Amino acid sequence: MTAAIAPRPGRVLRFRPRVDSTPARLRLALVLIVVAATLFGVSVATAAHSRFVAARSAGERTEPLVVQAVDLHSALSDADATVSSTFVTGGEEPRVRRARYLADLRRASGALTVLGREADASARARDAIAVIARDLPRYAGLIETARANNRQGFPVGAAYLRSASDVMRERLLPAATTLYAVEARALNDALRASSSRRELAVLAVCAVILLVMLVAAQAHVARATRRVFNVPLVAATVVVLAASVWTAVAFVRQADAAARAQHEGSDPVEVLSATRVLALRAQADEGLALASRGSGDDDLADFDAALRQLGVTQPESGLIAEARSLARTTGSEEGVDDLAGRLATLRTVHTRVLDLERSGRYRAAARLAVGADGDELRAADGISRALDRLVPKSQRRFDDAAADASGAVRGLWLVVLIAAAACALLAFLGIRARLEEYR
């Protein structure tokens, strides 16, 4: 065997492998097919496995972190809004408000713990977690000092509440926003990695090289032996072709599922959560504006800005429009319409609160704003409940689509390796049978 490619004795100066004989050519063809099959097996199996890992990590690791980041942000916003409206009520704070504030703090620390353990190791995420870990106890301390002073009837309590609100709005919420941005971007990147075109290109190149080898070998064998078909080589070609098509279809199905996970799952979750944050901000603004009794112009302007971003005034732009267009693909616009209706109620109630306040009926305005007037459900609570119904649905859609995305390529690497090994074996069998004719 080795003699076939060794230089001829006496012609040392001119190195030339001996491939001019048919057996030598057949042997070379076999070596090339085995090399191409190995390349195909290793590259395509690696690509398939990396896409599987990306899809699984997007679904099982990154997305839960986005949910935690979103949860942290809305727990903090809710605490701010709850506390701001205790400014207004006077008297001992209602027990439900206190319970809600404490639950918000628990949710925030819970989410922070998970994020701290799992979060993307980027410096931005770590810094943001450090800021919240440091300033959340400070915020809670200021709130408790405010409460202790309030209970004794000391006006300095209101100053502590203002100070706490500053910590919330200048330190905690910006850090929570950073965390959200980092995690949401990581999710988009993971989904993109699980559906990138690069793996398809790798598949195409490897498959084409291997198929060209197989076909060329068959052409050569046919010419040399005057037999049209070499059964093992034909079988090898069919195996490679089938494995390639299977892989391509799996990759495309996976990319589809990843896109579905984003459009029907994570995007609606993010948009709806931002809606919640804005509605809470508007609520906090109203509380602060009432608490400052006539000098809350900044707060009122911010209330309007929040509603503008939501798109309550112009239905064709803003977050509600975005949520509606996302809901259209799954035919779940009803829920969004319900939400939009409740946001509109927030606005009408706000207008009535302002009218009462401007005509000097402060107590009535405050009672209306915190929903103290019995049967009228508080607009903000209605929004919260509508979102509690909508978000888990999108969450489930994400989970299903993410499971599809990883399921589409689960075990694919093994199929590819087996196909590559079978191809090499069949090629060996087919070519060995011809070589034996030259013995």
Give the span between the Cα atoms of 88 and 82, in whole angstroms: 11
Q: Given the complex with another protein, which of 23 and 370 has the nearer CB atom?
A: 370
Q: Given the complex with another protein, which of 23 and 193 has the nearer CB atom?
A: 193
164 token code pair: 């706490």
Q: What's the closest the beta carbon of residue 113 comes to another protein, in angstroms?
A: 21
Which amino acid, one-letter code, is at 206? C
Q: Given the complex with another protein, which of 23 and 211 has the nearer CB atom?
A: 211
* 42: exposed, middle or buried (Cβ count in 10 Å: 0-12, 13-18, 19+): middle
Closest CA to 90 of 381, 293, 228: 293
Q: What's the closest the beta carbon of residue 361 comes to another protein, in angstroms?
A: 9
Q: Given the complex with another protein, which of 153 and 331 has the nearer CB atom?
A: 153
Helical H segments across 152-230, by residue range: 156-167, 173-193, 198-225
Q: What's the closest the beta carbon of residue 177 comes to another protein, in angstroms?
A: 5
Q: State the CB neighbour count (10 A cutoff) for residue 101.
A: 21
Closest CA to 322 of 278, 384, 285: 278
Q: Given the complex with another protein, which of 18 and 25 has the nearer CB atom?
A: 25
Give the chain's count of helices (H) and strands (E).
16, 0
* 201: exposed, middle or buried (Cβ count in 10 Å: 0-12, 13-18, 19+): exposed
Q: Given the complex with another protein, which of 18 and 97 has the nearer CB atom?
A: 97
Q: What's the closest the beta carbon of residue 167 comes to another protein, in angstroms?
A: 12
377 token code pair: 């459900």
Residue with tokens 């011809």: 434
Q: Given the complex with another protein, which of 379 and 405 has the nearer CB atom?
A: 405
Give the span between the Cα atoms of 119 and 112, in whole angstroms: 9
Give the span between the Cα atoms of 308 and 300, in whole angstroms: 12
Q: Given the complex with another protein, which of 304 and 338 has the nearer CB atom?
A: 304
Dihedral of CA atoms 308, 311, 317, 319 in degrees, nearest 10, equals: 110
Cα→Cα distances 26→217, 220, 242, 420, Å? 8, 8, 25, 20
Which amino acid, one-letter code, is at 162? R
